[in-house]
Structure 1
């Protein structure tokens, strides 16, 4: 098993959505302070993990090693369009096998979505960084995790053994904050 730290990152609306009804992250959910927080975190990660519809689109994105979840292959394959990316079908191979193929067996894996991907790692997160935009609502949007909106994102994280740390205010004027949700025994970062 890789000695990887597993950290998750998402910004959600007040109603727990990460995208609008068209499954697109709207401008209303994009804040410079959160972008800076997210960018700094990914710049320190050794591996980025996401689904085929999620992407961070940052200046350093092409330099980052990544695993992209897809059902278009049987197990694991190189991504012909990105030499730093590995395609992974969880139905055909383990996460550890995908990490081995990507050449990353230690450090930090940053899980950046979407909802199915977040759900796959719920019992493995060391820390999940939940950013919240308290003034934004996305009716009929795409929930951040399986089980939302029936439960709040916080209730989902708590149900998987994570406990909240100190809330950090990222943007007071727009009421944007981030809370680290940690598994028992994890050190602060």
Structure 2
């Protein structure tokens, strides 16, 4: 969405056309892409947060940021608007203190390693793992890319009102059930 602001050349938004970027931003505006959503006990977000937040507030912030960026795409103001969005919408897009994905980063950027054990109950991705990881109230489910090309390792999290489990494809065509909470 704002690759120029972080100077990463191989991000999705630097490898697609302006029209495709607009299409993606329209998906955010339509509510098909969100910053977070609520489960029974856990909040789900791309990267997570160290502090509590209101799901509706961060989703509205993402929609507002997308709308601002959409008007700038393809204009000389594109990079300028991108650079202002992290400061304007810090809960969602803030850069981390020591690196983009470091402590203090927003819901889109912070790495799992920087989420404290006493963070709000949440399920996150954004930090590649070979197996589900848990630190206190935070569970990381980003398994696909780290396991690409290997037998097994893919998995999904399933939350019910009573539990959170990981269903993992085993190396021998089975499914392993791992209780997380």
Same fold judged by TM-score > 0.5? no
Scaled by the length of structure 1, what TM-score is found? 0.28
The structure whose residues are more often helix, as a share, is 2
Scaled by the length of structure 2, what TM-score is found? 0.29
Q: Which has the larger radius of gyration?
A: 2
The structure whose residues are more often strand, as a share, is 1
